[in-house]
Amino acid sequence: MTEKIDTMLYLDGVSVAFDGFKAINKLSIIVHPAEMLAIIGPNGAGKTTMMDIITGKTRPDDGEILFNGRTDLTQLDEAAIANLGIGRKFQKPTVFESQTIWDNLEMALRKPRGIFATLFYASDQADVDHITEILETVRLLSRKDDLAADLSHGQKQWLEIGMLLAQDPKLLLVDEPVAGMTDAETVETAKLLKQIAKTRSVVVVEHDMSFVRDLDSRVTCLAEGSVLAEGSLEQVSANPHVIERYLGR
């Protein structure tokens, strides 16, 4: 068993109930530094609720959640958790539609978040270079002055991944990153996430099994709020419980 202190994310016996319905039931998950974990599972398995709990949107009723082996996340709010170095991409791409792609990234850029620091912020050359670099990575450089609202669904997903990169987090929580993407884009996204996972921890929730195969990472299958199976994709998809509850015969 791994020591708590060596983990990036440590969930132990986490439970949360909404009106008596146990959305998460004694969930225990460990993510190591610079490791990718793919989470699969049927609808209602608690995948998004798990992300809500980690990022401070929902308070767990019970259990322990540690970040970086030390910080207790259950006592912090969303902004504090984001500033610790946990970035989240939402299931539905959520970008600031009435603002330009450049401004979206500038706001996400890891900089002091205080009111007056933000009011008197002036971008220096390093910031400009960094944003340009991210724009190249997510292939939106030519559209930097367009409004985020004008992007296609897949491009919005990429912009949101770019915003995650700009935040420079230690842990990325990525909820269904390839929904609405073409097959080619899906392949590219898998490459990009694997690249990111070389230096950071990444948790990906996804339904697209071929995408999960491309990620080539450890897989956890959730069902009814707890872990059903863990291991490589082959092991998990060979598990009879997983076949019964999720993959179907």
Tell the smallest beta-carbon distance from residue 12 to another protein (Å).
24
* Minimum gap (Å) between residue 87 Cβ and another protein: 8
Pairing relationship of beta strands 71-72 and 86-89 according to DSSP bridges? unpaired
Residue 207 CB, nearest approach to another protein (Å): 21
We find the least distance from the C-beta atom of residue 16 to another protein, in angstroms, to be: 18
Contact indicator for 88, 175 with CB cutoff of 8 Å = yes
Q: Residue 163, interface with another protein (CB under 8 A)?
A: yes
24-63 residues in contact with another protein (CB under 8 A) are 55, 57
Residue from 74, 83, 132, 137 that binds another protein (CB under 8 A)? Answer: 83
- Closest to 171 in 3D by CA, of 36, 12, 13, 40: 36
What distance in Å separates the CA atoms of residue 200 and residue 176, rounded to the nearest whole number?
18
Residue 143 touches another protein, criterion: CB under 8 A: yes
Shortest Cβ distance from residue 172 to another protein (Å)? Answer: 12
Q: Smallest gap, in angstroms, from Cβ of residue 155 to another protein?
A: 12
Find the angle CA(170)-CA(174)-CA(176) to the nearest 5 degrees. 170
User: Pairing between strand 201-205 and 171-175?
Assistant: parallel
Residue type, 229: A
Q: Draw the binding track, 84-123, toward another protein (x: CB under 8 A; -: no contact).
A: ---xx-x-x-xxxxxx---x--xxx----x-x--xxxxx-
* Closest to 96 measured CA to CA, from 85, 88, 107, 86: 107
Alpha carbon 188 to chain centroid, angstroms: 17
Among 5, 70, 79, 152, binds another protein (CB under 8 A): 79
Evaluate whether 168 touches 110 at the Cβ level (below 8 Å). Answer: yes
Q: Which is nearer to another protein, 113 or 153 (CB)?
A: 113
Q: Name every residue whose Cβ is closer than 8 Å to that of residue 65 and which is 6 or more positions away in sequence.
A: 9, 10, 11, 12, 14, 53, 54, 72, 73, 74
Q: Which residues bind another protein (CB under 8 A)?
A: 55, 57, 77-79, 82-83, 87-88, 90, 92, 94-99, 103, 106-108, 113, 115, 118-122, 143, 145-147, 149-150, 163, 167
